[in-house]
Amino acid sequence: MSQQTEPRSKSEERAAAVKAATVAVPKPLTFWEQYRRKPQGMVGLGIVIVYVLIALFAPYIAPYDPMEDLYLADRLAAPAWMAKTSAKFKDAPPTIRMNLGPDDWVREEVDDISISPYEFPYFDGVGMEIVLPQTHVVEVEETVEEDTWEEEEGFWASAATDWDPWGLLESNEETEPSPEPEDEYGFDFEPEIDSGIDASAKKLLLTYEVDYDYTPPQTFSFSFDYSVDAPSSAETVIMLELMTPDGEVFDVWDARVYGSVESGTVLVDARDYDLKMRLGQGFFDEPTDILFSERGTYTLRLSSWTDSKEGPVTLMVTPVKFEILGLVHGILGVDHMGSDLWSQLIYGTRIALAIGLSSAFIAIVIGTSVGLCAGYFGGAVDEVLMRIADVLMSIPDLPVLIILGALFGKSVLNIVILLAIFSWMGIARLVRSQTLSLKERMFVEAAKASGASGGYIMREHILPNVMPLIFANLVLRIPGAILTEASLSFLGLGDPRVPTWGRMLQNAKQFGAFTRLAWWWLLPPGIALTLLSLAFVFIGNSVNEIYNPRYRERS
Amino acid sequence: MGFRSYVIKRLVYALIVLYVILTLNFVLFRVMPGDPTKMIIDPNFTPEAKAELRSQYGLDDPPLKQYVTYMGNLLKFDMGLSFSTRRPVWSELKERLPNTIKLFLCTFILTSLTGMRLGVKAAANPGSFTDRVVITAGLFTHAVPTFFIQLLMLLLFGYYWPILPIHGTMSAPPPAGGWNIFLDRLWHLVLPVTSNMIVGFGSWALYARNTMTEALGQDYIITARAKGISEKDVLYHHALRSVLPPIVTLLFMSLPGMVSGAVITESIFSWHGVGRYLLDATLQMDYPAAQGAFYLIALAVVISNLLADIAYGLVDPRIRVGAGGAK
């Protein structure tokens, strides 16, 4: 470099050229420098990096736990954006779910009725402790009251005979409280509590307004638990009503309690026949034809009154859970169990990567060891190992995996091990043939001559030389493992405890994605699988082009 | 070593493989945890009745005797009674076998022909549209899950545009007339076969393209062209003939994979075949049925491997002469 000006002889020039060559040859482009120039490889690497990031940050990307959070919306709910883009799901309701506590209810102020918040264990939200005051009633009127209640108590029977909830409600209000104003003494009740309802019975009325601006849902439900602590002679009525925007009131649930009740559970569900009967419907009618069938403000009314002459009545009510299961939900909708599909997709990345990488790695380890031993030792060892490989190769892998998967139990670990056991043969053959040619080379001879053991030679001399081959094959094995696992999961032999893409597809096939034309359920897992496999194929091919130009063909 | 001894060697080898698979089949179903007889013997039976049943099923015999009986029965295609239907497994399999073979043959022939045709075309016109299609298909063929494409086609042609039959091997009331029945069955084959073809043709097309490209660069092709032979003749009579042997071998070697794929195809399209029978039997823990179906599949694979070896020996004399011994 410095003697540029000096005239050089031919031999000097040649020496310089050789020197330059020797400088250039041992320092060719590094692997990364070569790899960087492969557009395919870079695309593949980019995709894999994205997948790895998604897998790592799955809990932050996915809003729900795919296995725990169920019933997020009605079964097979469509993606939320379908409500805007698709005519079929135009204005479809999202999931409306609320736990109504003392702060949510609008209360008609009544003296003597005290409501205090009460935290129940195992319940979301805050419940209520309601104390209804003692009533003072003349006995004569009570019989009338009782009769009407008796009638209402048997709503099972009465519902069958063209039962009109609105009419009954009115009859309640008229027959029951009307005698009482006269018997009230010294009580300064507010007369305008509810039209025509007498307040001497100290009716508690909590209302909550729900603005419903969607197409009718398929189902809705109310649920809460309650307990009543009252003198044994007391009669307490609890009632849940729903007022439509038209002002029609439907009694969806009521109970009449004599004395105390330790705990009662209320579950009003649009799918239950109980509610259909109350609404005067037949078995195959839908309550949603009447309730939430039109847009507007629906009013929930929780009311209670008591006839207790021996002391006040304490009512404990857990938060009232009101839910309308949505017909649209999240980014990709939900599956048949109401589990979020977007979360399943995101968490599926983890399993796919874990299974693909680990089983390919195990397969490579087995294959390399077998290939090294067979190639290096030759003779009987070679014969036995290669015959085993041949037999395993002739076994059709999917059928045997189906049987073994079912026999050994459906778990991720089993699948990984089985996949590895049935996929090491190809790499073993490759490594064996490489080893066969490598062991004839001088450096191996030299190592042998200097007394190196077989294990040492294999580890230190042969293994590094087959490494590039192994590396490329490791990458190229991954898509096979991922796809086989997906096939197994799709066939129903996957681990039932983990969300995988194969399982998503299986569920889609099994639970009606086709009849609903739910392409948003079918496409994402399939595309995710394809992209990931393709990325590994890209990387593997690029690595092969760099390291093993002769092995460009995929086996 | 002559061709005959080569074939005999491969035959012996195939028998050994089959023997090993059958033995594994026997051992696996006996070492597995749990008692398979629970499926057929009511737990409420008295111990004496249970013992009686067990001895009737031959489960009290020493393992070696059971093994011999098992092997002898398999040779006679006696696979026992299915737990779930109580019918002989072999007669159930016999019903399904023609369906599977039909599906398999159609897929095999169509896929390989399409693949090779496209591969040759791509090699003849490098850089053309066909070439790009072949290269892309070759990439995707190992990356796309077959069942995903099948599900997509199911959704498209079975539900969005319900024009193709999506399950079964024939219409529920079969149409009258022999010709109509034939057409009906063919019509039911369309979706399973095309979906398999779409995924499968890529690897063959790419392989045919690569070997053909290599062959077209050889001297004898230049000679042939120089002699003024038409391009078509050069392509099909000179180049293709020289690359046919490895391709034919590849075709036979791909048979086991296609047998595997049949399980998925059959289960997606509710095909009344052996693969689906295996899957259903396995999921229902119907062990004799699963064993029988697996035996049949293993047999098919071993035979196809044998055919691949023989074809390889036929088309490539080097194998049977030299390499056969120097393995």
> pLDDT by residue (tens digit) across A62-93?
999 888 888 888 888 899 888 888 888 888 89
Closest-CA distance of chain B to residue A487, Å:
7
Sequence-distant (≥ 6) Cβ neighbours of residue B218 within 8 angstroms = B242
Determine the distance in angstroms separating the CA of B179 from the nearest CA of chain A, rounded to an integer: 32
Domain interval for residue B180? 89-324
Mean pLDDT of the A491-516 span: 90
**pLDDT at A482 exceeding the cut of 90:** yes
DSSP A238: E
Question: SS3 of A184, please?
Answer: coil
Nearest Cα to A336, choosing from A77, A516, A88? A77
Residue B48 placed within a domain: no
- Residue closest to A333 by CA, chosen among A509, A210, A516: A516
CA proximity to A534, closest of B147, B144, B261, B136: B144
What is the CATH number for B112? 1.10.3720.10
Rounded Cα distance between B213 and B125, Å, is 10
Better-scored residue on pLDDT, A379 or A49: A49
Q: Are A123 and A237 in contact (CB under 8 A)?
A: no
Amino acid identity of residue A351, one-letter, is: I
Give the per-residue pLDDT at A289.
Answer: 87
**With bands split at pLDDT 50, 70 and 90, how would you rate the model's confidence at A501?**
very high
Least confident of A439-453, B95-109, B120-134: A439-453
pLDDT (0 to 100) of residue B250: 79
Interface test with B, best of A48, A390, A391 (most B CBs within 10 A): A391
Q: How far apart are CA A419 and CA A366, in angstroms?
A: 12
Residue carrying structure tokens 């029965």: B73
Q: What tokens appear for B284 in the block?
A: 């229902």
Q: Provide the 10 A C-beta neighbour count for residue B101.
A: 14
- Sheet containing A235-243, strands listed edge to edge, beginning at the edge strand earlier in sequence: A106-107, A204-212, A296-307, A235-243, A249-258
Summarize the confidence of residues B28-39 as an average pLDDT: 65
Other CB atoms within a 10 A radius of the CB of residue A175 amount to 16
Bridge partners (DSSP) listed for residue A223: A267, A321
pLDDT band at B240 (very low <50, low <70, confident <90, very high): confident
Question: Among residues A184, A177, A193, which one has the least CA distance to residue A145?
Answer: A177
A326-345 pLDDT tens trace = 899 989 999 998 899 999 99
Output the CA angle B32-B38-B39, nearest 5 degrees.
95
DSSP annotation of A318: P
* Confidence class for position A461, pLDDT limits 50, 70, 90: confident
Identify residue B299 by its one-letter amino acid code: L
Q: Is residue A103 very low, low, confident or very high in pLDDT (cuts 50, 70, 90)? A: confident
Q: By the CB < 8 Å criterion, does A316 face chain B?
A: no
- If residue B6 lies in a helix (H) or strand (E), which one and from where to where? helix B3-31
- Looking at residue A465, its pLDDT comes to 87
Q: Does A388 touch chain B (CB under 8 A)?
A: no
Torsion, Cα of B91, B92, B95, B96 (10° steps): -140
The gap between the terminal CA atoms of chain A, to the nearest Å, is 48
Tokens matching residue A351: 């399993």
Structure-derived torsion over alpha carbons of residues A542, A546, A547, A551, reported in degrees to the nearest 10: 60
Residue A487 · residue A502 · CB < 8 Å: yes
Contact B140 A534 (CB under 8 A): yes
CB atoms within 10 A of CB A332: 25
List, in order, residues 6 or more apart from B281 with CB less than 8 Å away. Answer: B82, B84, B287, B289, B290, B293
Please list, in sequence order, all residues whose beta carbon lies within 8 angstroms of the beta carbon of residue B138, skipping any fewer than 6 positions away: B202, B203, B205, B206, B207, B209
User: Quick one: DSSP state of residue A395?
Assistant: S
Determine the average pLDDT of the residues in A456-470: 87
In chain B, which among 210-249 make CB contacts under 8 A with chain A? Answer: 210
DSSP B100-134: HHHHHHHHHHHHHHHHHHHHHHHHHSTTSHHHHHH
Contacts of B260 in chain A (CB under 8 A): 396-399
| Pair A260, A312: CB distance under 8 Å | no
Number of domains comprising chain B = 1
Higher per-residue pLDDT: A170 or B7: B7
B297–chain A Cβ distance below 8 A for any pair: yes
CB count within 10 Å of CB A490 equals 27
| SS3 assignment for A211-233 | EECCCCCCCEEEEEEEEEECCCC
Report the share of chain A in percent with pLDDT over 70: 83
Residue A277: pLDDT band with limits 50, 70, 90? confident
- Condensed to tens digits (0 to 9), the pLDDT of residues A403-442 reads 888 888 888 999 999 999 999 998 999 899 889 888 888 8
d(CA A519, CA A505): 11
The larger pLDDT score, comparing residue B57 to residue A510, is at A510
Mean pLDDT over A499-511 rounds to 92
Cβ distance A509 to B268 less than 8 Å, yes or no, reads yes
The confidence score (pLDDT) of residue A171 equals 43
Average pLDDT, chain B: 84
Q: Do B145 and A486 touch (CB under 8 A)?
A: yes
CB B289 within 8 A of CB B83: yes
Please state at what angle helix B255-268 crosses helix B274-283, rounded to 10 degrees. 70
Examine residue B94 and state whether it is found in any structural domain, yes or no.
yes
Instruction: Name the 3-class secondary structure at B256.
Output: helix
Q: Is B142 on the interface with A (CB under 8 A)?
A: yes
Largest CA distance in chain B: 89
Asked whether residue B47 is domain-assigned, the answer is no
- CB-based burial of residue B76 (10 Å sphere; 0-12 exposed, 13-18 middle, 19+ buried)? exposed
- Count of C-beta atoms within a 10 Å radius of residue A25: 8
Tokens for A387, please give them: 């015959």
Are A396 and B301 a contacting pair at CB < 8 A?
Answer: yes
H-state helical runs in A79-179: 82-85, 139-153, 155-160, 165-175
**How far apart (Å, rounded) are the C-alpha atoms in residues A535 and A537?**
5
Residue at B6 is within a domain: no
- Judged by DSSP in three states, A135 sits in coil
Bigger pLDDT: B285 vs A449: A449
Quick check: is B207 in a domain? Answer: yes
The H or E element spanning position A65 is: none
Residue B151, in any domain of the structure: yes
The answer to whether A212 touches A298, Cβ cutoff 8 Å, is yes
Q: Residue B2 domain-assigned?
A: no
Query: Which pLDDT score is estimated for A27?
Result: 65
Q: What's the pLDDT band for A370 if we cut at 50, 70, 90?
A: very high
Cβ pair B32:A408 closer than 8 A: yes
CB A302 within 8 A of CB A206: yes
Strand A320-324 vs strand A96-100: parallel, antiparallel, or unpaired? Answer: antiparallel
A306, pLDDT greater than 70: yes
CB within 8 Å of B212: residues ≥ 6 apart = B119, B120, B123, B124, B239, B240, B243
B322 pLDDT above the threshold of 80: no
Task: Give the residue-averaged pLDDT of B126-147.
Answer: 89
Interface test with B, best of A403, A410, A423, A519 (most B CBs within 10 A): A403
Residue B293 resides in a domain: yes
